[in-house]
Copies of this chain bind each other. A is one copy, B any other.
Amino acid sequence: MTVRVTVWNEFRHERSDDAVRAIYPDGIHAAIAAGLVEHGGFEVRSATLDEPDHGLTAAALAETEVLTWWGHVAHDDVEDEVVDRIHARVLDGMGLVVLHSGHFSKIFRRLMGTSCDLKWREDGRRERIWVVDPSHPIAEGLDESFVLAEEEMYGEHFDIPPPDELVFVSWFEGGEVFRSGCTFRRGRGRIFYFRPGHETYPTYHHPLVGRVIANAVRWAGEPSGVAPTFGRREPLEPLS
């Protein structure tokens, strides 16, 4: 069963900053897409902020089973109308995988209802990612923990609703911890937030990061249950 994925990227750092371009010459989306293709089972397209409609027309979203989201410096440039459209599609069953600084995106904050704020430090130190739910398909194929040699630190408190499932917790050299892999169900849609991925580090070339994203897209793209309906209803049982 093939999952149709749209890999969305802000795609600004890579064009304006040489250091970022050196790591992601074709954009972060290209690295993420390559990881998905390598794992197989996905039909991958990408979309970026500066395309018309940010590449997310109603038609494009209608054909998208899972959307992955990376943004950082230009969250405010995402049109509210497009955010409304994505929001409606998630409630209607589209999966959403939000990556790293996407925690502050309009769509993630809209779905969470909280500030989604956190502590951070761009220091390029070690992150250790621990699996705390070994039953979860998103952890499939990993070891009990893995290391990213260089990453930005994100620290608690992370102002999100209590996640439905907590899959990963991160350890940082500076003494911080972070709930770095969280699932949420909203409407018929499944959402996964995954912490790593600062633009100045080669995180999206790491094979285990690619594995997590592939697992998450597969999980978020599983066929969901029924389409609920709403509004006034006649009784199903005879009233006395």
Nearest-neighbour CB distance to chain B for A147, whole angstroms, equals 8
Extra A-B contacts (13), CB below 8 Å, given A132-B179, A145-B175, A156-B228: A117-B231, A121-B233, A121-B235, A125-B239, A131-B157, A134-B157, A134-B187, A134-B225, A142-B226, A153-B233, A162-B165, A169-B179, A238-B240
A2 at the binding interface (Cβ < 8 Å): no
- Contact A186 B161, beta carbon cutoff 8 Å: yes
- Contact B224 A176, beta carbon cutoff 8 Å: no
Give the segment of A9-17, A28-36, A42-50, A105-113 that binds chain B: A105-113
List the B side residues contacting A38 at CB < 8 Å. none
A59-73 CB mask vs B (1 if < 8 Å, else 0) is 000000000000000
What's the dominant secondary structure at chain A's contact region? loop
From the candidates B131, B159, B175, name the one contacting A156 in the complex (CB within 8 A).
B131
List the B side residues contacting A158 at CB < 8 Å. 132
Alpha-carbon separation in the docked complex, A110 to B93 (Å): 20
A206 at the binding interface (Cβ < 8 Å): no
We find that the number of chain A residues with CB closer than 8 angstroms to chain B is 81
List the B side residues contacting A130 at CB < 8 Å. 155-157, 176-177
Residues of A whose CB lies within 8 Å of any CB of B are 91, 93, 110-115, 117-121, 123, 125-126, 128, 130-145, 153, 155-159, 161-162, 164-167, 169-177, 179, 184-190, 222-240
- Contact A135 B93, beta carbon cutoff 8 Å: yes
Nearest-CB residue, chain B, relative to A180 = B177
Alpha-carbon separation in the docked complex, A188 to B136 (Å): 8
Nearest-neighbour CB distance to chain B for A131, whole angstroms, equals 5
Nearest-CB residue, chain B, relative to A229 = B144
Alpha-carbon separation in the docked complex, A133 to B188 (Å): 8
